[in-house]
Copies of this chain bind each other. A is one copy, B any other.
Amino acid sequence: MVAKDTFHDNVKTALEKDGWTITHDPLYLRIELVQIYIDLGAEKIIAAEKESQKIAVEVKSFLAPSTISEFHTALGQFINYRCALAESEPERILYLAVSLNAQTTFFQQRFIQTVIQSASVKLLVFDPTNDSIVRWIN
């Protein structure tokens, strides 16, 4: 298990304010010898459907000196986690949580958008200044 991301608690609070119940912190998955810890697991009852929606959220601050290195790791984690969830909890949807600042700068680059779209990475954009969710990009 690695250290929590700088914005871990901001995202947790933002989800709770948005009506989500944090069910896992972290969400642990084990597939054979591979052990995976996704930052957060959350659940929300969708009243209209009388069903609960489940998500898993990996938080990345993108505050490291090399943003592209952090992106390599984030992308690899996302793909491995999604593959692991597909086996163990196919109904749970995985999001990569990125700050509004990262989303409006680094993630606006055409090349990064190309990668995000081709790998079908879902983003949860949050504002760490007021612990709120800005948008979900599916």
Contact = CB atoms under 8 A, between A and B. Distances in A.
Interface stretch (A7-15, A27-35, A48-56, A125-133): A27-35
A83 B80 CA distance: 18
Interface in A42-73: 68-69, 71-73
**From DSSP, what is the main secondary structure of chain A's interface residues?**
helix
B79 A79 contact: yes
A79 B115 CA distance: 8
A77 B80 CA distance: 13
Nearest to A114: B83
A109 interface: yes
Contact of A76 (B32, B33, B75, B112): B75
8 contacts: A31-B111, A32-B109, A34-B111, A68-B80, A72-B73, A76-B79, A79-B79, A83-B115
